[in-house]
Structure formats: C-alpha cells, structure tokens
Amino acid sequence: MRSVLGARVKPFEALAERLLAARQELESLPELDTDALSTELLQGEAAVVAGNGRLSVVPKWRIFPRALATRGEDLVSYSWGFRGEEVLVGAIRGISGGRMPEVVFMHAEKDSLFKAKQDHNDLTAVVDALRSAGFKATEWNPNREQRPAKDPARPQVFVALPVLKRGQLDLPREEKLLVEQVRRLVDAGEPVLLTVGRSMLALLGQQDPWLEVMEPFGLRVEATKVVLELVAKEDGTPAVEPWQLIDEPDEGTPFSTRLRGRPILFNQPMAVRVVEPSPAGVRATPVVTVAPSADRWLSDDWKGDGDGVREVPAAKRFDAPVPVAVLAERRAAAGDQRVAVVASGGWMLTSVADLSYSLGGGRMALRNPGNRELLLAAAAWLAGREDLLDAGLSGREVSRVEGLDGGARIAWIVAFGGALALGPIVLGGLVVLRRRSAA
C-alpha cells in the first residue's frame, strides 16, 4: 500500500517543485514601475516622481498619514513636521541613485512584525522609516517561507532578530532553524545585521548558538553582563537604569556624521568583544560605545535589572569604552563581506524607536531618532552604499539651522521679529506716499 501511494505522490511532488521553481523565477524578475503606479492609482490618490527614465509612486497616506500606526501616550509613528519632505526625498533618491537596497528582516515569530501590536513589540516604526527613505523592506520567517527572491539590480541586506519572548530555556525548534539560516548567510558571504539580547543560556554556562554566529569575524557578545547605571531620582533616592541614552557616536567611523546629534537608546546594552588578534582579513570598527563612568558597571546579575542596588559595585566598573554596535568586513570568495552586530535586544522595536515628547503647538519630536538612523545607516553601509551616509536618511523633528551660538540666534530673532513688525508699517507708508504724489 505504501509503495503504491508513494508512486502516486512522486509526480505531484515533482510538479510542486517545478511550480515552486517557476514562482521563484517570476519573483526574481525586476519590478515594473508602471505596476506600482497602476496599483496605487486604483487605491486612491498618489504622488508620482518621474525622472531618469523611471517612476516612483508615493501613496497619499505616506505624505499625509491620517492616524498613528501605534497607539500610546508617549508614542509617535511619524515625523510630522517634515513627513512629506522625507518621503519625497526618498522617492527622488530611489530613482536618481539606482535601486535602493532591500532590507530583509529575519525572525521566527508566529505573527508578522510588520503589523502594529498592542504592546508595541513590532517593527512598524523602523520599517516605515526604511520605506520612507526609499528602501524596500521585506519580512522572512524561514520556518514558513522560502528566501525572498533577489533582484539582480537591488542589493539585499539581512537583519536577524532572535525570538522576542522565549517560553523555555533552550531555543525552540523554530529559532534553531532561524539561527542555522543566519549562519548559512554569513558563511555564504551575505551582508547581515545581527541583534543579540541577553542570554539566560550563557548566564547558566550553557551554549547559546546566537553568540557563535559572528565568530568568523572575531565578534562575540558578552551576553552574561549588562551595562547598568546608578542615578538619583527627583527625591534624591538612588535608582538603577538598565538602559543607556547615547548622544554622540564614536568619531572617525562610517556612522559618525550620520549619527551625530541623534540620541540612541539601548535597553540592556552589552559588550561586543573583538577577538585579538582578529581573524585573517577581518577589520572590525566599533561605531557606538558606552563611555566609562563612576556610576556605570557591568552587572552579571541582570535578572532584576539592578533592583535593590544602592551603590555601584567598585569591582564591576569598567575603565574603557564598552562597544555596543560594531561593524566588521572581510575578504570573501564573492568579494568583500560586511556584517554588523548590535548588543541590545529591543533597540529596533517600536516601543523604543517611537518614544517621543511634545515640542508644543501640536508638534512632536522623537526622543531617540538615532535608533532609526542607526538602522538606516547600517543598511546603507552593509549594501555598499556609502553615498547614502552623507545625507540624512530620515526626517528630523527639530530646526534645520545648526551652528548658531546664543548671540547669533538672538540677532536673527530680533532681525526677523523686527522685519515682521515693521515691514507692514513701512510698506503702508510707501503706499500712502505714492498715492499722495500721484494726486
């Protein structure tokens, strides 16, 4: 019976394989600009940017969003002040500088991370930032789908995220498959951005496969120690903060210009150690570090995020900067390979990347614009698009005028204020004199 069923099943398996091959071949064909144009026009109004023989279509809701993608008292999903400018600049960049890279987010979650969730543990904020800047964003769960087909004219970058909430100590089967796929991509010379969070396995002295993915580059995250900081509350009592807000990136790195002035929030940051000496042909560069301080230490007991600590353990302070985000590149068979590691589990989540505060007058500003900018810059660098690192890839929610000291700012305020106040009076006087002279 089994042999008979097997003989009848084989033709169908062969047909399924041929259909899958045909589907992948069709998906690998380059996208037609007219397809996107017709699709958006059928759905409603859209802006069309034409030039260089290409079209870029921007749906109306991207320029004028009708509602926030996420809900919450301290959350904002869009750069309201410069939203339209950001989107249109991304469209122009996409048709003038070649096809923008495709960013593939790899995960093993049951639900899509591209859809807003009530607890904001999703990627809607950074995905929106990528698409607004002209990137293509794709979601890939290796447990359910084949690898997204690659457009020969579009660089492909992979972003790997461990499971957000693990219900057991060991990695579940789905996450093990995800780690294996990421390892294969690294071995194949693909550009990969790896996010690593705290590891209970490493804390218990067991092997964590995530910590071994970047060993060919001499990079390993110390997932058993977390940077904590002792601060004082408003009433003067001490409190421990398990996050770090970094205002200035390291100088002399590919990201220093791009991240300058954009705070980055890392929750439970850890150290990315670079093996010395580095593997042959590998060059590693820390781009974001936590500076040493008398109030900071590397805690190996992070389960309670420092609850109950009232003074800094002197033996656990660190004297050298702790790298949290590191870039690395090496020579590979198919050319130079680039990877990046960020040792903070939730830095890309909407709950962190969309934190905002009010500027007054109905204006909102992101508290941590550097989180979005770090991902945008990493995607551009991994794709070999250094030309995208010279200009802002995401909108800024504050004034565009920089480099003015206090005196110059006051002078400009007085000058513009005087022009606005006296301008109508002077213009009215000139009109009256002209009429009298004409009479």
For the chain, give every domain's residue range.
69-389
- Give the pLDDT of residue 237: 85
The burial of 166, by beta-carbon neighbours within 10 Å (0-12 exposed, 13-18 middle, 19 or more buried), is given as: middle
Query: What per-residue confidence (pLDDT) applies to 369?
Result: 87
Q: Which amino acid is at 52?
A: N
Residues 120-159 have pLDDT tens digits of 899 998 998 888 888 999 999 999 888 998 888 889 999 9
CA 263 to centroid of chain Cα atoms: 13
pTM: 0.77
- Which residues of the chain fall below pLDDT 70? 1-8, 20-21, 23-37, 40, 53, 60-86, 90, 94-95, 97-98, 302, 332-334, 358-364, 390-405, 439
Q: Which residues contact 412 (CB under 8 A, 6 or more apart)?
A: 404
Tokens 């457009």: give the residue: 151
Residue 131 token pair: 């698409």
Contacts 24+ apart (CB under 8 A), 328-336: 328/214, 328/217, 328/218, 328/219, 328/282, 328/283, 328/284, 328/285, 329/282, 329/283, 330/216, 330/217, 330/279, 330/281, 330/282, 330/283, 331/281, 332/189, 333/189, 334/189, 335/189, 336/384
- Mutual angle of helices 83-96 and 124-132, in 10-degree steps: 60
- Contact predicate 181/104, CB 8 Å: no
pLDDT tens-digit profile of 95-130?
Answer: 676 678 999 999 999 999 999 898 889 999 899 888
State the greatest distance between any 2 C-alpha atoms of the chain, in Å, as a whole number: 113
β-strands 219-221, 46-51 pairing: unpaired
Report percent pLDDT > 70 for the chain: 79
CA separation for the pair 372, 378 (Å, rounded): 10
> Could you give the CA distance from residue 211 to residue 385 in angstroms, rounded to a whole number?
28
Q: Is 379 strand, coil or helix?
A: helix
Instruction: Note the pLDDT tens digit of each residue in 351-405.
Output: 998 887 766 665 667 788 899 999 999 999 999 998 888 655 454 444 555 566 6
User: Position of tokens 């670079």?
Assistant: 274
Q: How far apart are CA 126 and CA 139, in angstroms?
A: 13
Of all helices (H) and strands (E), which one includes residue 136? Answer: strand 136-140
Contacts of 352 (CB under 8 A, 6+ apart): 265, 267, 346, 368, 371
Q: What are phi and psi of 329, to 5 degrees?
A: -145, 155
Strands 243-246 and 264-267, bridge-based pairing: antiparallel
- Residues written for the chain: 439
Tokens 């589990």: give the residue. 345
Under 8 Å between Cβ of 356 and 367: yes
Contacts of residues 358-365 at CB distance under 8 Å and 24 or more positions apart, as own/partner, are 359/397, 359/398, 363/80, 363/81, 363/397, 364/76, 364/80, 364/397, 365/397, 365/398
For residue 30 the two structure tokens come to 């380059």
pLDDT (0 to 100) of residue 74:
39
